[in-house]
């Protein structure tokens, strides 16, 4: 029986080794096929098929209520937490169906981490505890391993230098931008394969936003990142690929430069030039 530490590490090593054997063709992290999602009677996502490439930042843009957050949450089955949801279609993560009956949503979410719009460090925990809580609650007890992972995650989230002397302070004592980076560190600590970000900067000031954007740019060397954003300039700055959603449908998807300079769809052009939305 492998210890929890080994299990975590094995899985992570597996994920890291995989790209080494990759062909020149870009590797796919997600393949969403004919995804439709209903909230009760309301159809939030209408037959969306979308491939998300590995080690790149994919931005999902679109006006409010277009289903971009719903689609993002479908990538790690978070949308299932909303009562009365129904889904059709499949989502493959590295070729494996996330929605097959034998797959535990908790495992999916361990592989596909998430950062939310509003930073939400646990108020009962210190900065340090917040970072390693995912590992702890998944059964990791080895203190040395936890300490190493704590520092590594905080360094990756570009927060280590700011908090290394205050690890015992409450997570909620940090500033808004720091809290959001703490949440990113918390998501990184369980070493997911993908990080989903649901408007991670919309509650932050421009300086904190710039830091998160810089961080996203660094993280894409190791992680596949999918982010929802309201901010068109931000999508342009941080993403390699952009998907434009409108009224629950995927209108256009392609390299960000192409979408922004030469959109093929009229609706995309209207949206990114600010004619509506």
Partner 1 sequence: MRSKRTDNHTWRKIKSALASTTAFVSAILVILPLGLVFFHLLVNGITSVNWDFFTKLPAPVGEVGGGMANAIVGSLELLAIAGVIGIPVGVLGGVYLAEYGSARINSVLRFLADVLNGIPSITWGVVVYGLVVLRFKSFSVLAGGLALALIMIPLILRTTEEVVLLVPNGYREAALALGVSRWQTIVHIVMKTASKGIITGILLALARIGGETAPLLFTAFGNRFWNHSLTQPIAALPLQIFTYAISPYDDWHRQAWAGALVLVTGIFFVNITVRILTRGRGASVA
Provide the binding-site residues for partner 1, judged by CB under 8 A: 76, 78, 81, 106-111, 113-114, 116, 118, 120, 122-124, 133-134, 137-138, 172, 183, 186-187, 190
Closest separation between CB of residue 124 and partner 1, Å? Answer: 5
- Please, which residue, 2 or 81, has the CB nearer to partner 1? 81
Give dist(CA 37, CA 226) in Å, integer: 19
Residues 6+ apart with CB under 8 A from 157: 181, 182, 184, 185, 188, 215
Question: How many other C-beta atoms are found inside a 10 Å radius of the C-beta of residue 137?
Answer: 9
Of the pair 118, 141, the CB lying nearest partner 1 is at 118
Name which of 37 and 184 has its Cβ closer to partner 1.
Answer: 184
CB of 265 to partner 1, least distance (A): 32
Distance, in Å, from the CA atom of 217 to the CA atom of 219, rounded to the nearest integer, reads: 6
Q: How far is the CB of 188 from partner 1 (least distance, A)?
A: 11
CB 11, min distance to partner 1, A: 11
Q: To which H or E segment does residue 46 belong?
A: strand 42-53
Q: Which is nearer to partner 1, 35 or 189 (CB)?
A: 189
Question: What is the spatial distance between Cα 258 and Cα 277, in angstroms, rounded to a whole number?
Answer: 20
Min. distance of Cβ 109 from partner 1 in angstroms? 4
> CA-based angle 33:100:29, to the nearest 5?
50
**For residues 203 and 247, which CB has a smaller minimum distance to partner 1 in the complex?**
203
């Amino acid at each position: 029986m492998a210890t929890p530490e080994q299990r975590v590490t094995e899985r992570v090593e597996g994920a890291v080794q995989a790209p080494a054997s990759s062909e020149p063709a870009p590797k796919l992290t997600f393949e969403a096929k004919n995804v439709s999602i209903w909230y009760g009677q309301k159809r939030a996502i209408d037959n969306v098929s979308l491939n998300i490439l590995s080690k790149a930042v994919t931005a999902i843009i679109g006006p409010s209520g277009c289903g971009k957050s719903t689609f993002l949450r479908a990538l790690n089955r978070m949308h299932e937490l909303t009562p009365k949801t129904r889904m059709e279609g499949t989502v493959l993560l590295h070729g494996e169906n996330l929605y097959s009956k034998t797959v535990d949503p908790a495992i999916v979410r361990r592989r596909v981490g998430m950062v939310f719009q509003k930073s939400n460090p646990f108020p009962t925990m210190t900065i340090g505890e917040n970072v390693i809580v995912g590992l702890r609650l998944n059964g990791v007890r080895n203190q040395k391993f936890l300490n190493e992972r704590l520092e590594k995650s905080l360094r990756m989230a570009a927060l280590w230098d700011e908090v290394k002397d205050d690890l015992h302070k409450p997570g909620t004592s940090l500033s808004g931008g720091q809290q959001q980076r703490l949440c990113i560190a918390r998501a990184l600590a369980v070493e997911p394969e993908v990080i989903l970000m649901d408007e991670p900067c919309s509650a932050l000031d421009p300086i904190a936003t710039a830091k998160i954007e810089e961080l996203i740019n660094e993280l894409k060397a190791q992680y596949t990142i999918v982010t929802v954003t309201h901010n068109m300039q931000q999508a342009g700055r941080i993403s390699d690929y952009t998907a434009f959603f409108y009224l629950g449908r995927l209108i256009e998807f392609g390299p960000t430069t192409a979408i922004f300079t030469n959109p093929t769809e009229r609706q995309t052009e209207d949206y990114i030039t600010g004619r509506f939305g």
